[in-house]
Chain A
Amino acid sequence: MSVEIKQGHAMGVSMKRKEDPRLIQGKGRFLDDIVLPRMLWQAIVHSPYAHARIKSIDTSAALAVPGVKAVITAKDLQGLNLHYIPTFHGFDKQMVLAIDKVVYQYQEVAAVVAETRQIAADAAELVEVEYEPLDAVVSPFEAAKDQVIVREDRDQKTNHIYHWEVGARADTDTALAGSAKHIKQRMWFQRCHPAPLEPCGILADFNAATGRLTLYLTSQAPHAHRTVVSLVTGIPEDKIHIISPDLGGGFGNKVPVYPGYVCAAVASIVTGVPVKWIETRTENLTTTGFARDYHMDVEIGATEDGQLTALKVTTLADHGAVDAAADPTKYPAGMFGIVTGSYNFPTAFTELDAYFTNKAPGGVAYRCSFRVTEASFAIERGMDILADELGMDPVALRQKNFVRKEQFPYSSPLGFIYDSGDYHATLQKALEGIGYQDLLAEQAEKRARGDLMGIGISTFTEAVGAGPSKHFDIMGLKMFDSAEIRIHPTGAGIVRTGAKSQGQGHETTWAQIVAEELGLDPQNLMVEEGDTDTAPYGLGTYASRSTPVAGAALSMAARRIREKARKIAAHVLEVGEGDVEWADYKFQVKGVPSKSITMKEVAFAAYTNPPTITTRRT
């Protein structure tokens, strides 16, 4: 199935995806497709209450069901010191199974392991849990009053998790107070769920003979998960093998570590056979990582003619019952400081208070890195409200206040450096593309006869590509990424990174990047990700980081290959290294382009060590 490539051009060329043939034939390998001999099934028992004390758990009826192998509760996990797992935010911990009380509706209370999916489900219904319901707090404003304490397991008996702020409070307050126009709006970016079409799951397989724990896992970050599993369980990291297969979407939902994963791993260790757990859609929507849930008070100041003077955003963050937001340690509110957006604010200030509530743990990145969606919504909505207040065209207001081309690199008042941009030209191109003037005319005409028509404009500055190690980490693991490229004698190869596609098309794009750098056929560059035994260490795929970080690593690795190849090319062409140049996707002797050798030929020469050009194979 080889495709003629035009002179080695792979980037900038439209290619059909290499991962598609198996997916369109139903031959993808998703987690639930994987079966192992003697595999058992796990089902989870959930709490119907959002907040309740657990008086008792009676597993006897469940255990009596033929085919049930084990019923796990927190007590059993406590014996293994696995009753808590750390959160990706690093500073909190999450109960694997409920201890003493439940803190969100549908929280995991017990795990049943049985011979079939159906028996496990039947037995789960027979686990008897006696609850004493407590008042539930489901609003961060109520939670702030500390009348109902969600987390009694923490040292500080308060629902307040942390306070974060950045910017110049006094200057901003002064500027707002002195502004001719000052808009203020409460905005709630409501809780939403990433809801990948494939739910989360695990197939845990502990091999007592080798001491290795293999986890087939719906994981967007297999290496990070491997390290976390090692730290939490005490199993040495070389004895843990995580394989993230084809994933049916992720969107951030497959970044956290879930109680079901821990229970299945424990169950496999205890029973000595593989244990599979695939969550139901209900479980996915009720217990796995939510996103957003920011209540933001947005204040923007401006002069009479629409020159921005100040921005202030005050936020109450609803984190649910566990501080499980996947954010770098330095940035508990993620990249929310990008809230000045595309605009040149002379001064700005933002502060945030995070609270526990009786809801499932929240705050994962969803289709956007680290709170940027909340920030972008806040500023763009705020600018529209200001435009309305000023009686100004929202486009004109934006054009008046964009960071100007000559201001780059631009330091925002909230601490971000924007390296480059031409916002005016970009917006202009978009306006022309959509025919903005025509739309305005249409709108005026419709309004004149009483019809409503809106035109939505949003300019979007996203901080992506987490990221440089000096700023970005997940649980202390710096957010670099890695690439490994092996070229075979015949010019084909294997390309591996620490990223993990959930549909983004890495098998095609990584092949294109490497093929472009090396003048090879992208159809013969096999891309592999997700197996921690073979892939180089990386922090996975989310927050739009893969191409800027793993992709860059690929380019750099490919260029190193090219430099090594240059030496071999020079040898074969019988010239000095300095006389060989890479041009037109091959090595050419400077000034004598007809004297050339392709990368494919160099690859063969590398393994066969031919003495000179006269003996090289063509």
Chain B
Amino acid sequence: MKQRVSIEVNGQKVEAEVEPRLLLAYFLREVAGLTGTHVGCDSSSCGCCVVVMDGSIPVKSCTMFAVMADGHAIKTVEGLAVGGVLHPLQQAFWDQHGLQCGFCTPGMMLSAYAMLQHQPNPTDAEIRRFLSGNLCRCTGYQNIVKAVRQAAEQLATPAGVGG
């Protein structure tokens, strides 16, 4: 009962025959072989699985079937750096000590990535609200907010690397 899907992941088409019930998260991890997207819960609560669809839509890939992403473009954490150059979000998380175990980090950065497409100049309150679907058990969030703020500032400057 498999279905053929074609999903553009980080600019590359990935085609496979999948069961309709295969979650996008597992498609990315096990079919596309990109394990940077993590699974941390059963209930769409934690946000470890967040990826960005069609340029600017953050989705919890554990709450989407691969077949639903057929024909769409998905950006994962592996697609943030370009030519080995870290995306300002990645650089900012590193600079601001925005991670400890790193398990929530890909999802955090991609939620922020999506947010910055819609709101390039967020307040701290807006950052916190937009990231409220992403849990972190290690950091206490302060440095995550600082990291997103740094990335926003970096991206807003003319010399900033485009998203």
Chain A contact residues, CB within 8 Å of chain B: 16-17, 19-21, 23-28, 30, 32-33, 117-118, 195-199, 246-249, 251, 280-282, 502-505
- Sorted from nearest, which 8 A-B pairs have the closest CB atoms? A26-B36, A503-B101, A248-B103, A23-B102, A26-B77, A503-B100, A33-B35, A281-B41
**Is chain B's binding surface mostly helix, strand, loop or mixed?**
loop
* List of A residues within 8 angstroms of B135 by Cβ: 197
Residue of A nearest to B99 (CB): A23
Asked whether, in the complex, the Cβ of B42 is within 8 Å of the Cβ of A280, the reply is: yes
* Inter-chain contacts of B105 with A (CB < 8 A): 23-24
Given A26-B76, A117-B26, A195-B137, A20 contacting B103 (CB threshold 8 A):
no
* Bound: A118/B26 CA distance, A: 11
Task: Write the nearest CB–CB distance from B24 to chain A, whole angstroms.
Answer: 15
B40-A24 in contact (CB<8A): no
In the complex, what distance in Å separates the CA atom of A199 from the CA atom of B97?
A: 23
Q: Given the complex of chains A and B, what is the CA–CA distance between A505 and B95 in angstroms?
A: 14
B123 nearest CB across to chain A (Å):
24
Q: Could you say which of B76, B86, B100 contacts A24, with CB atoms under 8 Å apart?
A: B86
**Inter-chain contact A198/B40, CB cutoff 8 Å:** yes
B155 to chain A, nearest CB (A): 16
Q: Is B38 an interface residue (CB 8 A)?
A: yes
Best-buried of B41, B42, B80, B101 by chain A (most CB within 10 Å): B101
A25: chain B residues within 8 A (beta carbon): 36, 77-78, 80-81, 86, 90
Cross-interface CB contact of B101 among A26, A118, A197, cutoff 8 Å = A197
The listed residue (B37, B40, B90) touching A281 by CB distance below 8 A is B40
Contact call A20/B101, Cβ cutoff below 8 A? no
Nearest to B81 among chain A residues (CB) is: A25
Complex Cα–Cα for A501 and B109 (A)? 22
B104 at the interface (CB under 8 A from A): yes
Asked if A24 and B95 make an inter-chain contact with CB atoms under 8 angstroms apart, the answer reads no
Of the listed residues A23, A195, A199, the one surrounded by the most CB atoms of chain B closer than 10 A to its CB is A23
**Complex CA distance for A148 and B32, rounded to whole angstroms:** 53
Is B21 in contact with A248, judged by CB distance below 8 angstroms? no
A198 to B43, CA, bound (A): 14
CA of A33 to CA of B36 in the docked complex: distance in angstroms? 8
Q: Which of A17, A26, A117 contacts B94, CB < 8 Å?
A: A17
Chain B residue contacts of A23, Cβ below 8 A: 99, 101-102, 105
B58: interface (CB < 8 Å): no
Q: Which residues of B contact A249 (CB under 8 A)?
A: 100-101, 103, 137-138
How many inter-chain contacts with C-beta < 8 Å in the A-B complex? 109
Q: Are A32 and B103 in contact (CB under 8 A)?
A: no
Residue from A16, A26, A27, A197 within 8 A of B37 (CB atoms): A26
Given A24-B105, A249-B103, decide whether A198 and B38 contact each other with a Cβ distance below 8 A.
Answer: yes
Q: Is the CB–CB distance between A20 and B38 below 8 Å? A: no
**Smallest distance from the beta carbon of B115 to chain A beta carbons, Å?**
17
Q: Kindly provide the distance from the CB of B41 to the nearest chain A CB, expressed in whole angstroms.
A: 4
- Whether B40 lies near A26 (C-beta < 8 A) is no
Interface residues, chain B, with chain A CB atoms under 8 Å away: 19, 21-22, 26, 29, 34-43, 45-46, 48, 76-78, 80-81, 86, 90, 93-95, 97, 99-106, 109, 135-138
15 further interface pairs, Cβ-Cβ under 8 Å (given A26-B34, A32-B38, A248-B103): A19-B102, A20-B94, A25-B77, A27-B36, A32-B29, A117-B26, A118-B19, A196-B137, A197-B48, A198-B101, A248-B38, A248-B40, A281-B42, A281-B43, A503-B99
A505 and B100 form a contact (CB under 8 A): yes
In the assembled complex, the CB of B11 is this many whole angstroms from the nearest CB of chain A, namely 15
List residues of chain A with CB within 8 A of the CB of B95: 16
Task: Provide the bound-state CA to CA distance between A117 and B18, in Å.
Answer: 13
Q: Which residue of B lies closest to A14 (CB)?
A: B97
In the bound assembly, the distance between CA atoms of A19 and B101 in angstroms comes to 9
Measured in the bound complex, the distance between the Cα atoms of B87 and A540 in whole Å is: 35
Contact of A247 among B40, B41, B101, B104 (CB under 8 A): B101
With beta carbons under 8 angstroms apart, the residue of B34, B78, B93, B103 that contacts A30 is B103
Interchain CA distance A251-B101 in the complex, whole Å: 11
Roughly how many angstroms separate A282 CA and B41 CA in the complex, as a whole number? 8
The contact of B78 among A26, A32, A251, A282, by CB within 8 Å, is: A26
Q: Check B102 against A246 for contact (C-beta < 8 Å).
A: yes
**A/B interface sample: 23 pairs, CB < 8 A:** A16-B95, A19-B102, A23-B102, A24-B105, A26-B34, A30-B38, A30-B103, A32-B29, A33-B29, A118-B21, A118-B22, A195-B137, A196-B137, A197-B46, A197-B103, A197-B135, A197-B136, A199-B40, A246-B102, A248-B38, A280-B42, A281-B45, A281-B46
A118–B20 Cα distance when bound, in Å, is 12
Point out the residues of chain B lying under 8 angstroms from A503, CB to CB: 99-103, 138
Q: Whole-angstrom distance between the alpha carbons of A249 and B103 in the complex?
A: 8
Alpha-carbon gap, A150 to B52, bound state (A): 49
Cα-based distance from A195 to B137 in the complex (angstroms): 8
> Within the complex, which residue of A24, A280, A282, A502 is in contact with B99, where a contact is CB–CB below 8 Å?
A24
Contacting pair B102 A282 (CB below 8 A): no
Min CB distance B35 to A, Å, is 4
Q: How far is the CA of A199 from the CA of B99 in the complex (A)?
A: 18
In the complex, which residues of chain B have a beta carbon less than 8 angstroms from the beta carbon of A198?
38, 40, 101, 103
Q: How far is the CA of A26 from the CA of B102 in the complex (A)?
A: 9
Distance between Cα atoms of A118 and B109 in the complex (Å): 29
Determine if B106 and A26 form an interchain contact, defined as CB atoms under 8 angstroms apart.
Answer: yes
Chain B residues with CB under 8 Å of A16's CB are: 94-95, 97
Cα–Cα distance between A117 and B31 once the two chains are bound (Å): 13
Residue with the greatest number of chain A CB neighbours at <10 A, chosen from B19, B39, B104, B137:
B137
B42 A282 Cβ-Cβ under 8 A = yes
Using CB atoms, name the residue of chain A closest to B92: A24
Cα A196 to Cα B135 in complex, Å, equals: 10
Residue ID in chain B nearest A246 by CB atoms: B102
Known: A24-B109, A26-B37, A280-B42. Contact between A197 and B104, CB under 8 A?
yes
Q: Which residues from chain A contact B93 at a C-beta distance below 8 Å?
A: 20, 24
The answer on a CB contact under 8 Å between A26 and B99 is: no
Q: Are B41 and A24 in contact (CB under 8 A)?
A: no
Cα-based distance from A191 to B102 in the complex (angstroms): 27
Partner of A502, one of B42, B46, B101: B101
Q: Considering only CB atoms, which chain B residue lies closest to A15 in the complex?
A: B97
Which residues of B are found within 8 Å of A19, using beta-carbon distances? Answer: 102
A26 and B35 contacting across the interface, CB-CB below 8 Å: yes
- Which residues of chain A come closer than 8 Å to B77, judged between CB atoms? 24-26
CA distance A280 to B62 in the complex (A): 12
| Cβ B40 vs Cβ A20 within 8 A | no
Contact B100 A504 (CB under 8 A): yes
Q: Which residues of A contact B103 (CB under 8 A)?
A: 28, 30, 196-198, 248-249, 503
